Amino acid sequence: MSYLDDILKSRRDTRHFTNDEVPDEVIEKALQAGHWAPSVGLTDATRYYIIKSPDVKYAVKNLFLDYNKKAEELTDNPEQKEHYKSLKLEAIEEAPIGLIIAYDRSVLNQFTIGTVGSNEAVKFSSVCAAQNIWLSLTEQGYGMGWVSILDYYQFKKILDLPENIEPLGYFCIGKPATNYDNQPMLQQLHWKQKSATPDCKEIKNINENHVLDSESKPQVKTEIKSDFSTLLQNKIDSKTKPVGALGTLETLAFQMATVFETLSPKIINPNIVVFAADHGIANHGVSAYPQDVTRQMVGNFLEGGAAINVFCNQNNIQLSIVDAGVNYDFPTNANLIHAKIAKGTQSFLHIPAMSETELQLCFEKGKSIVTAIAKTGSNCIGFGEMGIGNTSTASVLMSLLTGFSIEECVGKGTGVENEKLLQKQNLLKKAIQNYSGQAELNQQLAYFGGFEIIQMASGMLTAFENRMLILVDGFICSVAFLIASKINPDIHQNAVFCHCSAEKAHQKLLNYLNAKPILNLDLRLGEGTGCAVAFPILKSAEAFLNEMASFESAGISRK
């Protein structure tokens, strides 16, 4: 076995250090090793911060202790809890040197051909650097411990790290006081064992299960579906009421049962997902609010203060917030789904809003987000949005995809009126006239689309694939649905249009989609609020189908 193999097998999460100082040349050699690590797309995003100050170490340690206290409460086993509390899980003050290994997200704003524009890619590059530094220190007779039990938002705050710098954690460096028999702590405690060999499988074939074996399959499915529909309608009609007396509730119950493929449908783990992004067209004054309101409202969602938070809490609906392309870097530990394509689209007045690569990323991100939600067991998903300028984007897309004039598709949005509304209308008309691309869906979406709108369209298509009930909010979400329906018309089967917005063009779009909304409350807030407010009506449809007595069970005569 080589010396390198010995190093790779050695314990790497050092927790105890001697008082020996670490020579500057040791640190310099280790950091150079980190700099030699692979850098995806040569983004060169890794940043290092050295800490020797006792005051700074003390502040970091207190932050650790506060977070570690919360970690203790994650087990209900008293013996395990006491054992955990007795361990020395860090050496922040004891280690001679503290090191912060971080990555700079701002490098993604500087496009170079061959660069992979992904937050994850620059993060992985920095992890490679951390590994190289550990290898170098170990080879020189030193050790490094990784402290990740931290509130990263507070961590950045107390160290005054720039917004674009994202730390992997706090690393303790010094001479190891013990080698712990070269076993990780969790393994010594018999809490968890590392597998002896790597998990590796060879993939030899592609999955071709989606290809139908014969043309007879759709016919068989249609026959089964027809039998199911007859049974379902009989169940609805046999309830103790005149046929059709529950109106839209009966339609919703039939739809819900058909989507879930059961005569006793039940909504499980409902989730409303709010996609947020900024739009370059907002720089031309098409909104009554400045662009920064997008970022401020996402903060409001995360703090629980928005209308959608209130309505989701009221109806016990899970709320998920997605950063699809807000012009701001949120902390990595913020309670949102990081799916940022870029910091807002370009202005489509003169140039494409996004590249074809960014468009493809939107479809991938939207699919990934909804797939993850479906895996939680959720079978009902609502779509909401937030983005200053997105009614302008939606209006142009509606005009292009329906053939309606832009005048028929433009509304107040956040509240522009009179002369400002006319300016907005003329500006969007000019943008369409400037477009010289083909009348091909993907090209139109890339030129005029918004990151959140395309991610919603992709998410809706994915929800359909996962047999989920799709709750469509107002005007902008309906445009996202319009896009999805152009790709797969069958998606209509799963869609519930929750309300008719006060936005002028929404009723026209609903008519185009042949959609009948549940509510008409003059809402035009977005955020998925219409989905949340309409949700109790869906629960009523579910309840009557599953719990209401039939004529037979109640012993009541039919007419």
Active site members: 527
Give the type of residue at 127.
V
The CA-atom distances, in angstroms, between 340 and each of 63, 364, 385 are: 29, 12, 14
The CA-atom distances, in angstroms, between 75 and each of 70, 72, 148, 250 are: 10, 7, 18, 47
Nearest-10 crossing angle of helices 390-402, 504-512: 30
Classify residue 252 by burial, with Cβ atoms within 10 Å: 0-12, 13-18, 19+. Answer: buried
| Rounded Cα gap, residues 237 and 123, in angstroms | 58
The CA-atom distances, in angstroms, between 38 and each of 26, 27, 113, 129, 300 are: 21, 19, 18, 8, 38
| Rounded Cα gap, residues 224 and 201, in angstroms | 39
In contact, 331 and 156? CB cutoff 8 Å: yes
**Beta 318-325 vs 337-338: how paired, if at all?**
parallel
Among 363, 342, 353, 338, residue whose Cα is nearest residue 480: 363
The CA-atom distances, in angstroms, between 439 and each of 281, 358, 400, 446 are: 21, 19, 8, 12
CA-CA-CA-CA torsion sign (411, 415, 420, 423): negative
In contact, 362 and 455? CB cutoff 8 Å: yes
